[in-house]
Structure 1
Amino acid sequence: MGNSAIKNDRAYTYADYLTWPDDERWEIIDGVAYAMAPPSTEHQRIVRNLSVEFSIYLKKKPCEIFIAPFGVTFEKDIKDENNPHAVEPDIAVICDKSKITEKGCKGNPDLIVEVLSRSTASIDIIKKRRLYEQNGVFEYWIVDPLHQIITRLYLNDDLSEYRKPEYFNRESTIAPIIFPDLQIDLQEIFPEPQV
């Protein structure tokens, strides 16, 4: 596999993704393979804090939360082995149980959360945003640990594109559009700023 952070010498597919070693984490977007950087401690704290909030709320409800590494592929009338996308969101909330398989989620999760890392931020902000929008992920949160801001995106009424982004800082409370009664105090999510 080499040490390259990007593999674009040919079009990669979900079939390739399944053959790669478990100790090497890659995502495929539009046939290009991107190496996933090891997450920082701060990244993992934020993922943990958010996942606890979702897990408590979803207990005894039909939706499930999954935390990376958990694969997501998008159907779009493509046979699995030819699918040019395979991603591992930090957090995925899935309400349609028929999309959950032994290998991950086949289809669009209802909500995806990505916590930015310096080395992969542009992938999350640009490439994954477009991928999720085009494949009907209703709600997408981009969490910026450095500035302690969450950008919330969700599909418009005809489900064709994301509405104008909404921003929430550490002093805010955020609620998922799909779960408006889940009020998350972001002071509980972001670590205390270092002085």
Structure 2
Amino acid sequence: MNAPAKAAGQIGSGLWTADQFLEFYMSRPDEERWQLVDGLAMMMVSPTRPHQKIAKNLIFLLEPCLLEARSDLETLWEMGVRVPGISDFNPQPDLLVVEADASFERYADRFFLAAEILSPSNPTEMISRKIELYQRHPDNLYCLTIAQDEVRVRLWARETDWQMTELTSLDDKLRLPAFGFDVKLSEIYRGTSLAA
């Protein structure tokens, strides 16, 4: 996710429900990327090349593991999610693990991993809030943040009661046991200046 910008023309107090946001979002051009966090609609800027490379690497590394361990799941890039019981939250994580189906939706009602690829401009408070709300989804197993300007991956896992683990070396391994995933950070950062 990249730096947000407040949406123009918000109604009332400036805070939207998911339904109001979706009505607005459906009227926007497809190339615009929007999300709703705590009732605030935000437009996201286009991702950088390192951001894209990290996301692509993670997808390519996750897919074979999912085929082996959980063929009912797949990875998606930048799809919105909904969390039951939270009416003002429709974010768009950078990467998701969701049920493998071909339905046409802008939002996944069920997800099993939400990952955010961070740029220096990401507000810490907003990322923290998104991680907190991703953890509330009853099906979600993992939350990840991956820095694009330094080697730093943070993992929160349901199996450890959402305790955060931080990895900061290219030799550190990111382990997601539910997906059969066990990969060095050097593979996630492959092709970026951080892994040179």
Instruction: Name the amino acid aligned to 1:141.
Output: L
Q: Any conservation in 2 of the 1:14–1:84 contact (CA below 8 Å)?
A: no
When residues 66 and 124 of structure 1 are mapped into structure 2, their CA distance, relative to the original with a 3 A threshold, is farther
Which of 96, 117, 122 aligns to 1:120? It is 122
1:101 deviates by: 4.0
1:126 deviates by: 1.6
Q: How does 1:20-169 map to 2 (within 5 A)?
A: 20-59=28-67, 61-68=71-78, 70-76=79-85, 83-95=87-99, 101-122=103-124, 125-136=127-138, 137-155=140-158, 163-169=162-168
When residues 74 and 139 of structure 1 are mapped into structure 2, their CA distance, relative to the original with a 3 A threshold, is same
When residues 143 and 121 of structure 1 are mapped into structure 2, their CA distance, relative to the original with a 3 A threshold, is farther
1:87 deviates by: 1.7
RMSD: 2.6
What's the TM-score once normalised by structure 2's chain length? Answer: 0.78
1:164 deviates by: 2.2
For 1:153, what is the secondary structure of its paired residue? strand
1:100-123 Cα deviation digits (max 9, x unpaired): 741134424111111002233426
Q: Any conservation in 1 of the 2:83–2:133 contact (CA below 8 Å)?
A: no
Instruction: Name the amino acid aligned to 2:22.
Output: Y
Q: Any conservation in 1 of the 2:51–2:148 contact (CA below 8 Å)?
A: yes
What is the total number of aligned residue pairs between the two structures?
Answer: 179
1:194 deviates by: 7.8
For 2:166, what is the secondary structure of its paired residue? strand
When residues 84 and 14 of structure 1 are mapped into structure 2, their CA distance, relative to the original with a 3 A threshold, is farther
* 2-structure distance, mates of 1:92, 1:67: 7
Instruction: Name the amino acid aligned to 1:131.
Output: L
Q: Which runs of 5+ in 2 are unaligned?
A: none
Q: Any conservation in 1 of the 2:141–2:158 contact (CA below 8 Å)?
A: yes
* 2-structure distance, mates of 1:110, 1:38: 25
* 1-structure distance, mates of 2:15, 2:142: 28
* 1-structure distance, mates of 2:114, 2:52: 16
Q: Any conservation in 1 of the 2:117–2:147 contact (CA below 8 Å)?
A: yes
Q: Which runs of 5+ in 1 are unaligned?
A: none
Decide which moves more: 129-138 or 166-175. Answer: 129-138
When residues 141 and 89 of structure 1 are mapped into structure 2, their CA distance, relative to the original with a 3 A threshold, is same
Instruction: Name the amino acid aligned to 2:194.
Output: P
Q: Any conservation in 1 of the 2:94–2:115 contact (CA below 8 Å)?
A: yes
* 1-structure distance, mates of 2:123, 2:52: 15
* 1-structure distance, mates of 2:99, 2:195: 37
